[in-house]
Structure 1
Amino acid sequence: MTLTELRYIVAVARERHFGRAAEACFVSQPTLSVAIKKLEEELDVKIFERGGNEVSATPLGEDIVRQAQQVIEMAQGIREIAKRGKDPLSGPLRLGLIYTIGPYLLPDLVRNTIARTPQMPLMLQEQFTVRLLDMLRLGELDCAIMAEPFPDAGLAVAPLYDEPFMVAVPKTHPLAKMKRISAERLKQETMLLLGTGHCFRDQVLEVCPEFARFSSDAEGIKKSFEGSSLETIKHMVAAGMGLTVVPQLSVPAEAQTHVVYIPFEDPVPTRRVVLAWRRSFTRYEAIAALRNAVYACKLPGVTRLSD
């Protein structure tokens, strides 16, 4: 049994396809297939069910893949310990972010990281929360910036900031002259939402739960629009299609021609943004440096948090 063979089975479990796994490991498919078959014969177990276009791990195979991932991480940990003896921050940090945080935090965060720790480049990945959790579990990411709540995956979590929500209103809308808006008042309006899969969509529906029904019946098609990004939805607001709710950091610094951003009345809905990483991740200094780089960002209108 070798580390290479263990990397192969982790790749197949992730890709659910021998060809894609071979490409990810930079080897030919026959090389990967022969190595996995050899490992199965050595262990005298069947790790994968083969058939059709997709490969899946057997119940016992899932346990083996999980253990293989831990072994790979431990081997990587040995390398990291050696690196830390020279420079604790040396080497890239693989960071994931959800779509409703990345565009608004990354410009400042990348600049701060380059200025503070140039020897620790950020390798960035934007994804949905569920996918980021999978990537953390499989070791494809070192850490991720997400919004709570999310399923408990046994991760270490550090709070970064609490971010209030704002209401985006067309400048020609009667509500545009209001200083603050209640969640109750939004019940009477056409609401534009992010599509299914975005955790921010779920958080907005907690504020305005009556809009949940719009995504499940025919009438809802007339009453709401589901967009792929906050920026797309903002353009729809500017066109007068309806209102939406956005996180504070997505609000432009300068006044907009066609959209007005209005705070909520108390209690103001907020989301908590956190940094999460595997407990087995050994580069503690890198996590601390990343948190400090986040705290050094401007973050207008949010409440910075610390342990």
Structure 2
Amino acid sequence: MQQAALTDSENPSVGCTEMQRTNQKRAMTPVRVFRTIGGMTLTELRYIVAVARERHFGRAAEACFVSQPTLSVAIKKLEEELEVKIFERGGSEVSVTPLGEDIVRQAQVTLESAASIKEIARRGKDPLAGPLRLGVIHTIGPYLLPDLVRNTIAQVPQMPLMLQENFTVRLLEMLRTGELDCTVLAEPFPDTGLAIAPLYDEPFMVAVPRDHPLATRERISSAELKQETMLLLGTGHCFRDHVLEVCPEFARFASDAEGIRKSFEGSSLETIRHMVASGMGLTVVPQLSIPPGAGTDRDALVRYLPFADPVPTRRVVLAWRRSFTRYEAIAALRNAIMSCPLEGVRRITD
């Protein structure tokens, strides 16, 4: 059916100002209401990643250097803004909801991207100026860091080290979220697409009480330790896994009932060293953990024996994100590490 044309008096556009015509168009256009998500912050994303990792609000708050109420309020606010539940709260542990797992995973990507943006911004500045956040595993830190800190102060005083000692899994997580710039680890560890520079191969040694029948030996094989009471680091320490990997004879100490009766676990190498000195058993330690002069001190309560060939070793490396752009800082750190005494290890210079 043909529609009659409007006369000028019937046409609402005629005689109207441009502003009036615009207002008429707006009035005739259906209104669509959009809900917007409030100002999500990187801090809130760090909080949810920490809670997902620790499965505990208190430990997550401690890791983020804030009070638990501060962290809890921020996460509750984020959940309300997103209108989803990220965490299930109940009992002593916190669990992540299925949807929360996706959110946490994306938060980790976002945090890494944010760290990359900061690194890009530093390109035009002195890459050696400013702190370098370095992580080190527990079985390396006490024996490397004193010399390393001294070397960096002497060689690159404008690049102070911000240090973090922790387990391998935690350090890798902190690298991924941008909380660390680089870390010193022992291989093997999960492949996370990191850039890696080898530092040195470190042999393992056997620590025995000075009055033990094996204390007078020049060398010892891992097979000879089968009948001994072995002292191992607790679960979570990568060095424990390294020892069990290169000395499969020790695997029974962590599995069957006989092994459990003949083994003890310690929280640190120093604790285990004192247990050896007390005659409670033997242990395996990395070369750099041996006190200076231990081989010539006849009054020492602990003797350190090298393994017979093939000598078990671990490879220590420097790892960092591929997106980290302060290449000169990484090179300076590696030079400072290689300038440390590192007695008894095989340096990897190529």
The question of a shared fold, defined as TM-score above 0.5 by the shorter chain, is answered with: yes
Aligned partner of 1:202 in structure 2 is: 241
Q: Percent identity?
A: 70
CA distance in 1, matches of 2:348, 2:109: 31
How far the C-alpha of 1:13 sits from its partner, in A, is: 2.6
1:14 to 40, 50, 62: 50
Unaligned stretches of 5+ residues in structure 2: 1-36
Contact in 2 for aligned 1:109/1:294 (Cα 8 Å): yes
Residues 165-180 of structure 1 aligned to structure 2 (within 5 Å): 165-180=204-219
Q: Provide, for residues 181-204 of structure 1, a one-character-per-residue CA deviation record: whole Å limited to 9, x for no partner.
A: 112212232211111111111222
2:270 to 202, 209, 231: 231
Unaligned stretches of 5+ residues in structure 1: none
Q: Provide, for residues 137-170 of structure 1, a one-character-per-residue CA deviation record: whole Å limited to 9, x for no partner.
A: 2222221111111111121111110001111121
Contact in 2 for aligned 1:47/1:64 (Cα 8 Å): no
Aligned partner of 2:90 in structure 1 is: 52
C-alpha change, 1:166 and 1:21, in structure 2 (3 Å) is closer
Contact in 2 for aligned 1:95/1:144 (Cα 8 Å): yes
Q: Provide, for residues 42-72 of structure 1, a one-character-per-residue CA deviation record: whole Å limited to 9, x for no partner.
A: xxxx361444265555445444444444444
Q: Provide, for residues 7-57 of structure 1, a one-character-per-residue CA deviation record: whole Å limited to 9, x for no partner.
A: 31332132246787778486575455334532x25xxxx361444265555
C-alpha change, 1:22 and 1:14, in structure 2 (3 Å) is closer
Aligned partner of 1:219 in structure 2 is: 258
Once the two structures are overlaid, the 10-residue window that deviates more, 75-84 or 17-26, is 17-26
Contact in 2 for aligned 1:11/1:25 (Cα 8 Å): no
How far the C-alpha of 1:104 sits from its partner, in A, is: 0.5
More helix by share: 1
Larger CA Rg, structure 1 vs 2 = 2
CA distance in 1, matches of 2:59, 2:280: 42
Higher relative contact order (CA 8 A, sep 6+): 1
Q: Provide, for residues 218-242 of structure 1, a one-character-per-residue CA deviation record: whole Å limited to 9, x for no partner.
A: 4334312111111111111111122
CA distance in 2, matches of 1:253, 1:225: 26
**CA RMSD after TM alignment:** 2.6
Once the two structures are overlaid, the 10-residue window that deviates more, 157-166 or 19-28, is 19-28
CA distance in 1, matches of 2:344, 2:229: 26
Is 1:275 aligned to 2:318, yes or no?
A: yes
Which residue identity does 1:14 align to in structure 2?
Answer: A
CA distance in 1, matches of 2:58, 2:284: 43
Is 1:305 aligned to 2:344, yes or no?
A: no
Which residue identity does 1:105 align to in structure 2?
Answer: L
C-alpha change, 1:51 and 1:289, in structure 2 (3 Å) is same
